[in-house]
Structure 1
Amino acid sequence: MNNLKVAIIEDEVPAARLLHSMLRRLRPAWEVMVLPGSVEEAVQWFAENPHPDLLFLDIQLSDGDSFSFLTSARPSSVIIFTTAYDQYAIRAFTVNSVDYILKPVDEKRLLEAIVKYETLVAANTSPENGYLDVILDSLRHREKAYRTRFLIAGGERFRPLEVSDVAYFYSENKITFAVTYTGQEHIVDLSLNKLVEQLDPDLFFRANRQVLLCVKAISHVEPYFNGRIVVFVKPPYKSQIIISEEKITAFKLWLNF
């Protein structure tokens, strides 16, 4: 795959330079260019130049987002997203042959995305007509409505529990509990897996198999053994909430979003 033309659209100059240097190191035969990191300038460039074979596209640009760029520029390129979105929000971008890379970019993860692209091209399964529309449809619907309340049973009565009142959820003996900021516990008739799908990923993070955290409940974070970290919440959880080494990057990105 020599003479492959690759473009980077990234509004953060240091991030663009880092990605460019990694690509040059991993695939020195590729022709890699960094384009303007704004919707307006990137659209103009695509209107005046041949489209690259592969495009690394940041989700959020300096004057808008990738949806605006894709709608206007209609690139024929295969797209790999780069994003600071957390692990749940980026599900919307894993469509068709699209891949995504969380920022800050890890070279190993970048190589995986490159190999995926090369495998698709080698197998002649590159995007066909309608590919871009699939991406746009996914981006269009990523701002879905999230659950705002639960109906909690109590004896012969039911009452609403607002999601905004919940500090965290935990699972025990296949039962899910919602813990409020006042320390009250309520049984919720949904698994943690289902809650992950229904709650706003900007606010809630799946810390481990047992706990789903709200960002507002976190008091502080401390280092733990073997590259892990422990999270402290208010009200306190009955045991330590450990974030595995594999989840630390996604967790930090979530906290900084």
Structure 2
Amino acid sequence: MTTTIIIEDEYPAAERLEKLLLKLNSPVQILAVIQSVSGALAWLAENPAPDLIFSDIQLSDGLSFQIFEEFPVKSPIIFTTSYDEYAIKAFKVKSIDYLLKPIKFQELQTAVHKFKEMQLLSVNDYSLKIDSLLDSLQTTGKRYKNRFLVKHHEQLVPIQKEEIAYFFTSNGLVCLVRRDAKHFLIDYHLEELEKLLEPSYFFRLNRQVIATLPAIQHIHTYFNGKLKLDLQPKLTQEVVVSREKVQAFKEWMEG
């Protein structure tokens, strides 16, 4: 009997995973379903480590990586998430697999079988297996972030890529602006967003703004070879593309 815990803050996703686990040929005992970083830390401090952990990455109070950085556990981890830009980091914290939601039964079965195989490996063999997984993952091509979970009053609201007009930074804070002009603070730097966003859809206009093509309302020639842009929804601060970035911006606009 394999003991496991599920760390997941979305009830439908946790319920689906529980049902899929019960369908497996090899028996799995679910010890707990935990919804937060703080809850997981408390549970792990008070209970013996399970044989296996299933963990979402983005939880209501932070990233699950914090759990395993603050409380190193020996249990292998299967990460379950909607965002695969965290894949490389996931494998560096004893992950044996990485499943994208909605989880498919066959993929779950394969991941658990992989866990069973790794139970038979030595520590060195296990490390080599993880390195092999990393190499394989890095050659499969990068996927980009398609939605953001943002806080709005007392709720968490998902925003799809197509709903975003632009991101801008002001006084050290980064704001996501939706096409309906609603503003949401997000916990990312623009440098991080550049790596997470699809470059054919988003462009870093300058040090303050990353925009989508639909947000570019007017393009004005500006002094010294620069371009001045009007965005929609309107942004109060001036948006200027430097002379060095003008050619790349034009190529992006032309597709």
TM-score normalised per structure 2: 0.49
Bigger relative contact order, structure 1 or 2, given CA contacts below 8 A and separation 6+? 1
